[in-house]
């Protein structure tokens, strides 16, 4: 998991405290993943278990959003290629087939 604190900093480099929080989050995520893989979650206190559960849910949601965005980007690119083929009088069938195969994959 490329884990972060979920801060969503999007303007250049994040501040140092955000970088530190992301680093600590990645360390915690790695450690808790190993603890879970060894079946030792029952040894955690409630606060730690609650954080881990919420973190995994947030990470799962992030991965779903990333997958959906990647799919939508593929659809946009294929649509633009089809529009380009139509406007240039090129191989429309090939461009349409490429778009159809992406749409058939679905999200």
List, for residues 12-54, the tens digit of each pLDDT value.
Answer: 666 677 888 889 989 999 999 999 999 999 999 999 999 999 9
pTM tops 0.85: no
Contact present, 31 and 55 (Cβ < 8 Å):
no
> What per-residue confidence (pLDDT) applies to 56?
93
Residues 68 and 39 grouped into a single domain: no
Could you tell me if residue 56 is inside a domain? no
Looking at every residue in the chain, the average pLDDT score rounds to 87
**Residue 105 clears pLDDT 90, i.e. is over it:** no
**Residue 82 clears pLDDT 90, i.e. is over it:** yes
Percent of the chain with pLDDT over 90: 58
| Residue numbers of the domain that contains 85 | 61-107
Residues 67 and 26 grouped into a single domain: no
Residues 40 and 77 grouped into a single domain: no
């Amino acid at each position: 998991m490329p884990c972060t604190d979920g801060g969503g900093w999007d303007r250049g480099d994040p501040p140092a405290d955000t970088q530190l929080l992301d680093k600590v989050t990645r360390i915690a995520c790695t450690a808790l993943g190993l603890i879970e893989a060894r079946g030792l979650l029952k040894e955690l206190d409630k606060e730690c278990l609650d954080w881990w559960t919420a973190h995994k849910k947030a990470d799962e949601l992030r991965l779903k959003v990333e997958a959906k965005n990647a799919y939508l980007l593929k659809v946009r690119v294929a649509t633009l290629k089809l529009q380009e083929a139509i406007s240039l009088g090129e191989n429309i069938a090939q461009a349409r087939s490429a778009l159809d195969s992406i749409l058939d994959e679905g999200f």
